[in-house]
Structure 1
Amino acid sequence: MLTMSLKHSSILINLIIPVPNVSICIPTYNRAQILPYAVNSVLNQTYGDFELLICDDASPDNTAEVVAQWDDPRIRYIRHPQNIKRSRNMRSGYEAAQGQYFIKFDDDDALTPTFLERTVAVMESQPDVDFVCTDHWVINARNERDQAATAVNSAKWGKDRLAEAVIDDLLKETFVRQSLQVGSTLFRKDCLRTVDFMRFEADGCEDFDLLVRLAAVGKTGFFIPEKLMEYRFHGGQTSLKQDIHFLSAKIFCLESYRFPERPELETIRFAKLAGLKQVLAMRLIEKGEAQRGRQLIQELAALGPLSSKAKLGQLLSYLPLRLRQLAFQGFRQLRPEDYSERVRNAAG
């Protein structure tokens, strides 16, 4: 295994081994215990012409020691001396990648053994295809595949109706249905350069943003309905701070898009924006930022009648913070558990 700085890695690596065909990036932070599952899924690929970039965002745990266990020249360990945050850590792998094909997936997920073999074959046989996406399994904290949750997930995002073919109306699939996932997608690196990969402002929803922007500039996607990747649901809920960060990033994305030749998508975009702003307003009110929450609700009111949920949020914003938070917690407990929560709670 080679350990080196990002600055000198690409020069030194070319002196030692040939340039790989595929670059695989696993950004990681403080997940030394779970990282081996992801890494071993790459090393067990039936297609071997790849480099694996493990991008460590200054993890305080023993990630470096865990990575040192692998003696494989295809592994390049990039450890940042200081935490540079999620999006920049991902980008460090993209910028260091030498292969003509590129995939990034999270440190708690995994590829099935034939992922590269199947996706590279499509790329090699169809030069007009810019990226290949596959369906995926849902796994829990014990690395167990959940058949029922996988089926529900595929149906929820419309993956179960996509055939093995070039994706028709890629913009609708990425923006409206959100059927595709970056972690189960192999890209030509040239197509990622067209949109300059991921935007820092989209941190938290950068996968969605990347796919929409690729579709908007006319790139071609191909879908393989086989489940060739494993996506993990595990214990723990997102915090209010994380929710607010994600919602703010997604609002940034939607406000930046324009679909002048697709008026039906513009209508959907405005509706999505209104829905996101309503949810963000509720989260802000729950967190204690009542003024910001009420301001968002006022903006929504200027566009049309408020929903009953928005009206309720407006009323709750005038309660003392503790009572307000108890009310939100009570409403959340009344909501039925969905399939993702079931998987998380079963093995969290």
Structure 2
Amino acid sequence: MSLSQECQQPLVSVIIPTYNRPDYLKQAIASAIKQTYRNIEIIVSDNCSTENTQAIVASFEDLRIRFWRHEQNVGMLANQQHAFKMARGKYVASLHDDDIWNEDFLAKLVPILEANSELILAFCDQYIIDANSIINDPGTEKNTRGYKRDKLAKGIHQPFSKIGLIDKSIPTAASCVIRNNVIDWDSIPPEVGGMWDLYLTYLCCISGYGAYYYPERLTRYRAHEQTDTMLSGSRDMQAKIRKAKSEMFCYQVFMEDDRLQQFRVYFQQKWLEANTTLGIGLLRSEQIAVARPYFWQALTKQKFNVRTLVALSLSFTPHFFANKLIELSK
């Protein structure tokens, strides 16, 4: 493509928030630079890493890269939001610092949005890779089926609240291009935390625009030991507590939105499940008195639930046996 043709393409802002993953970050940036769609800016927002992230960025010698480093750790969500607010592109696409894009990711999705101004986003399927960037074929198939992308029709979906918030088919954080000027990035509250991608999907769903599904695996999502779901011990428990709090906040918002009332029962059930998960996390962290109200709330607002009832019972069990039983219930 000639330089004049590249300039005629709309600018796409590639958002890469990062924190202490230098080796993975190199791969992520490289995959952005290698995009066959050339008119991009790459925004690397460093959350006060102890590693020399700026040196990694500089090593690419690509003028399309914009680098920002926070002077202190501001948290994952604030770092992500700051990068989004730096974006100057007509479209934005989030690329985690441990994920990778195929070279034609943007080239296949951006023209779809350009051709239809009534679309807010275009998304695709994804591969699952391990810590060594090797594709996990069984994991990939499980991921596609689990999020029902194997049965999702190619093309426009409008409305798309069900596929976005119920089936969670839209991988907003890694395999999606979004129309930038529709989203108010300041409207994502801090309570969203690690569920920012689901909340962003919610904002897109209620925008009145449509979504387009491109049924091809154009990105590579990394599952490895540094993700929240792969942590162990106390770090694992704190991650689960944070996630449960974020889920409770999100599903509360969704429940109260009149535009989503047809899914209210589902959102309430997810909110109640998050109450129980939070209670179990607090119980395992020995915050017994704090945990019990979440169990009571979950029990009084739903039909009989074994998981919640067992967890509440454990909160009245002698400390030693309670810890043993909780370990067995993982």
TM-score, structure 1 normalization: 0.85
| AA aligned opposite 1:60 | T
* Structure 1: stretches of 5+ with no match in the other structure: 1-16, 333-348
- The match for 2:297 is 299
Q: Please identify, of 303-312 and 85-94, the stretch whose mean Cα deviation from structure 2 is larger.
A: 303-312
Provide the rounded CA distance (Å) in 1 between the counterparts of 2:25 and 2:276.
Answer: 37
Offset at 1:24? Answer: 0.3
Correspondences of 1:100-111 after superposition (within 5 Å)? 100-111=90-101
In structure 2, the CA distance between the partners of 1:304 and 1:85, relative to structure 1 (3 Å rule), is closer
Provide the rounded CA distance (Å) in 1 between the counterparts of 2:322 and 2:113.
Answer: 53
Quick check: 1:146 aligned with 2:136?
yes
Match of 1:61 among 51, 57, 63: 51
Offset at 1:111? Answer: 0.9
SS in 1 for 2:150: helix
Q: What CA deviation, in whole Å up to 9, does each residue of 1:218-273 have, x standing for no partner?
A: 22111111111110100252311111111101111111123435543111111111
Correspondences of 1:130-145 after superposition (within 5 Å)? 130-145=120-135
Provide the rounded CA distance (Å) in 2 between the counterparts of 1:169 and 1:98.
Answer: 28
Match of 1:38 among 28, 32, 46: 28
Correspondences of 1:161-172 after superposition (within 5 Å)? 161-172=151-162
Offset at 1:296? Answer: 1.2
SS in 2 for 1:133: strand
Match of 2:324 among 323, 326, 330: 326
SS in 1 for 2:119: coil
- The match for 1:340 is none
In angstroms, what is the RMSD of aligned CA positions? 2.0
SS in 2 for 1:33: helix
- The match for 1:208 is 198
Match of 1:80 among 70, 76, 93: 70
| AA aligned opposite 1:21 | L
Of all paired residues, the percent bearing the same amino acid is 24
| AA aligned opposite 1:179 | S
TM-score, structure 2 normalization: 0.90
Quick check: 1:256 aligned with 2:253?
yes
Match of 1:314 among 305, 312, 320: 312
Contact 2:241 2:277 in 1 (8 A): no
* Structure 2: stretches of 5+ with no match in the other structure: 1-6
Match of 2:277 among 279, 287, 301: 279
Offset at 1:320? Answer: 4.4
- The match for 2:225 is 235
Q: Please identify, of 254-263 and 291-300, the stretch whose mean Cα deviation from structure 2 is larger.
A: 254-263
Q: Please identify, of 48-57 and 84-93, the stretch whose mean Cα deviation from structure 2 is larger.
A: 84-93
Contact 2:125 2:219 in 1 (8 A): yes
In structure 2, the CA distance between the partners of 1:219 and 1:320, relative to structure 1 (3 Å rule), is farther
Offset at 1:126? Answer: 1.5
In structure 2, the CA distance between the partners of 1:295 and 1:25, relative to structure 1 (3 Å rule), is same
Contact 1:58 1:82 in 2 (8 A): yes
Match of 1:121 among 111, 122, 125: 111
| AA aligned opposite 1:252 | F
Provide the rounded CA distance (Å) in 1 between the counterparts of 2:303 and 2:115.
Answer: 53
| AA aligned opposite 1:23 | S
